[in-house]
Amino acid sequence: MARKLNTREKRILLLGVVSAVAIFVFTCGTKLFDDWRKARATLATAKRKLSDVETDKNRQAALAALVPVFETPHVEDKQKFLFREKLHEQLKKAGINTDPLQFLPVRKPRGVPYRVLKIKCKGKCKLDQLLDFLGNLKENPYCVGVEELRIQCDTKEPPEKRKDKQIEIDLVVSTFVK
Amino acid sequence: MSKGEKIPHAVVAVAREDARFKAVEVHRHDRQVEILWTRSLPADRQATWSGFASACGLTPDANHRDKVAKRHSPAVIGLDLTGVAFYRINAPVVDEHELAAIVRMQAESLLPLPPDQIEVAWRASPSTNGTADITIAAARREYLHKFAGNVRDLRPRNIFLSCEGTAKAWQSLFSAHERLVDADAVKSVRPRGLGSQAVLVSIGQENTQVCLVQDGLVTRAAVLDLSGAGLLHSAEGAQAGLLSEVMERFAHDLRAILSSFGWSESSPWPLFVLSDGSPVHQHVVESLNGAGLPAAVSVPSLRGLKTPSGFEARDVYEYRTLLGLALIALEKPGAALNLFGRVLEEQEQQKAASAWRSVALAGAAAVLMLIVLLVTVYLTDVASAKRWDALVKQPDFQAAVQQQALLKTVARHRPDILELLTEINAGQNDGVVLDSLHFKKGQTVSMSGQAGNMEQMWKYQANLREQKGIKDAEIQNATPDTKTKKIKFTMTVQYKEFTKKEAAL
């Protein structure tokens, strides 16, 4: 026949139960805490990635206005070819006569995830043609931007006679290569 | 009252008496007692102790905005004799602990209920012939708890038996030798003093309280049905027969009570009928004397009392019990029969236990809520992490993000040359013609040109400075051309972020 536990036995039993519960809680708690920490890290990363996405309509519109098209950069040779062809086409379309396009050495600037390839062109055109070319340049899906532009008028001509006269231009435009 | 407890200088005594709640605040000065205020309200069915306490300003009014309990003098409450029984026993003179054990044993045999249902208070009189007379007051514990609960809002310092207050008031504030109606009674009335015993008859509006008082302390008490209101009604009814019959019955009942107190015809105790000077009381005394009971009226006096204006001797009679209770509290309340010592202690313990229970319950609830919160946050975080991670890992999403990042990079490095040219030509620039322009990322934009005069050049510079994208328009040099008589100048400007050094690719 079972006997009743005395106070000391009850205390030991209680201590044992409390210890067992504490061990269980600690073990499970540690695992859960680790899971939680991982989950929070994953969540933070995902949130950071999502926060990089531009969701503001006005900013999206401004971005689209400034960069309406741009193709993911290709390897150097391919990008060189594509960029030069498109640039040549645009210059021709604007009616700008240039010397042969000249590639500048590829370099890797800091803070940009791609290497940069630049093309230099030198030529003569009317101011309207230049403006037309610059207006259409953003439609070039390989062009990053104008790196340098020099415009020089013929200073021998008096200002009132310069209209419709040719101007000299030195232009450097850039693209990204993989 | 514990030994260490201080005797207060002022108390508020509250009791329900004559179908009214009454309260009085008394202040003790060196040799004088001052009555500060009195208050009385009918104790009808709706009236409660709490309501009366609130009406007296002793507790915050439930409707009042100020819920903070007001500070007031300690309160002493009177318990009427309804529900209280008195016993008197003899015990050998032994030390207090042994006496307490003897009293407990004898009380258990006397009381009609089990000891755990009864609360007992006792007091020993000075011993005679080796034995001590013990006065025992007993009441049902449940009744006392209920009463203590009812008066809880008053936060009573003590709860005494009202009859003890009446006895104390008679001893301190009433005259015993005035207005005696019978010469024999005069002879029989011994002065109150050592060893003297007297019977006090206090006729109230609802009943009549009879107390045997020895040395100013109540040793026996009982209640009779005869009320002051009934007597007045009989007297005003002008029915001599009815009044006589009432008085006869009263004398008979009183004699029976006296017998139970141990009255002896051979050595009778004097009877004092407390009176405010009313003819009805006078008539009662006459009737009692006629019935062979040596009675006299005892009227109140204002001697030694400082009272508020308009407070008369009859008001002392009206508030006799409360004044007596206050005087007990202001002197040595330890001598009074205290039925509520354990009851109040238990209630305090219950209150403390209840407070602890509340704290423990609130703590447990807080811990539970915390656990629920943690579990919820954990589950939410895990679920969100899964969902968001899956979303950002989708190829379409990644491609879109990369494309947008690329566009942003391009936008960051793409100057709007057309906008630059527009801003350079903005405004009225009469007489100014540009000869050349040089833009290169990472350098200032330089321009050379000619102007008709210096003012035109400066105006052009001012126009440039007003443009949003252009900053720091500076004239580098300006020289007059002797041939054309114009000013040739060179200017530099900053264009947005593109002329900063780090903008160059």
| CATH code, domain with A145 | 3.30.70.60
Residues from chain A contacting residue B438 (CB–CB below 8 Å): 148-151
Say yes or no: A160 and A92 in one domain: yes
Q: Is the pLDDT of residue B357 over 50?
A: yes
Residue A5: DSSP 8-state: P
A128, closest residue in chain B (CA to CA): B418
Mean pLDDT of B479-493: 90
Label residue B238 by pLDDT band (50, 70, 90): low
Cβ–Cβ < 8 Å for B135, B220: yes
Q: Domain limits at A116?
A: 71-177
Say yes or no: A124 and A163 in one domain: yes
Q: What pairing do the DSSP bridges indicate for beta strands B271-274 and B197-203? A: parallel
A136, closest residue in chain B (CA to CA): B418
Please tell me which residue, A92 or B177, carries the higher pLDDT value.
Answer: A92
Average pLDDT, chain B: 84
Say yes or no: A85 and A164 in one domain: yes
Instruction: Extract the residue ranges of chain A whose pLDDT is less than 70.
Output: 1
Structural domain contains residue A8: yes
| CB contact (8 A) between residue A72 and residue B413 | no
Q: What's the pLDDT at B474?
A: 93
Burial class (CB within 10 angstroms; exposed 0-12, middle 13-18, buried 19+) of B145: middle
Mean pLDDT of B398-409: 87
Say yes or no: A49 and A80 in one domain: no
Contacts of B143 (CB under 8 A, 6+ apart): B83
Residue with tokens 């209150």: B351
Say yes or no: A163 and A83 in one domain: yes
Distance from the Cα of B332 to chain A's closest Cα (Å) equals: 47
Angle (CA) B477 B483 B488, round 5°: 20
Measuring CA to CA, which residue among B116, B107, B114, B105 is closest to residue B85?
A: B107
Say yes or no: A105 and A46 in one domain: no
Say yes or no: A111 and A78 in one domain: yes
Backbone Cα Rg of chain B: 49
Label residue B176 by pLDDT band (50, 70, 90): low
Strands (E) in B443-486, as ranges, are: 445-451, 470-480
Q: Is the pLDDT of residue B164 over 50?
A: yes
Provide the sign of the torsion angle of the four alpha carbons A32, A33, A37, A38, taken in this order. Answer: negative
Tell me the residues of chain A between 12 and 71 that have a Cβ less than 8 Å away from chain B: 32, 35-36, 38-40, 42-43, 45-47, 49-50, 52-54, 63, 66-67, 70
Distance from the Cα of A108 to chain B's closest Cα (Å) equals: 8
pLDDT tens track for A9-43: 999 999 999 999 999 999 998 998 999 999 999 98
Residues from chain A contacting residue B435 (CB–CB below 8 Å): 152-153, 155
Please tell me which residue, B225 or B241, carries the higher pLDDT value.
Answer: B225
Label residue B326 by pLDDT band (50, 70, 90): very high
Structural domain contains residue A28: yes
Q: What's the pLDDT at B235?
A: 63
Say yes or no: A109 and A167 in one domain: yes
Residue B233 amino acid letter: H
Say yes or no: A89 and A130 in one domain: yes
Structural domain contains residue A15: yes
Label residue B31 by pLDDT band (50, 70, 90): confident
Query: For chain A, how many structural domains are there in total?
Result: 2
Please tell me which residue, B70 or B23, carries the higher pLDDT value.
Answer: B23
Structural domain contains residue A30: yes
Say yes or no: A89 and A170 in one domain: yes
Q: Is the pLDDT of residue B21 over 60?
A: yes
Cβ–Cβ < 8 Å for B446, B491: yes
Mean pLDDT of B318-344: 86
ipTM over the 0.90 cut-off: no
Beta bridge pairs of residue A151: A169, B437
Q: In order of start, what are the domains of chain B with their CATH numbers?
A: 175-299 (3.30.420.40), 414-503 (3.30.1360.100)
Provide the sign of the torsion angle of the four alpha carbons B399, B401, B403, B406, taken in this order. Answer: negative
Mean pLDDT of B148-176: 88
| CB contact (8 A) between residue B400 and residue A148 | no
Say yes or no: A27 and A100 in one domain: no
Q: Is the pLDDT of residue B63 over 60?
A: no
Say yes or no: A116 and A164 in one domain: yes
Label residue B303 by pLDDT band (50, 70, 90): confident
Name the most confidently modeled range: B112-116, B224-228, B250-254. B250-254
The number of angstroms, rounded, from the C-alpha of B288 to the middle of its chain's C-alpha atoms is: 49
| CA–CA distance, B331 with A142 (Å, rounded to integer) | 107
Helices (H), B331-447: 341-392, 395-413, 417-424
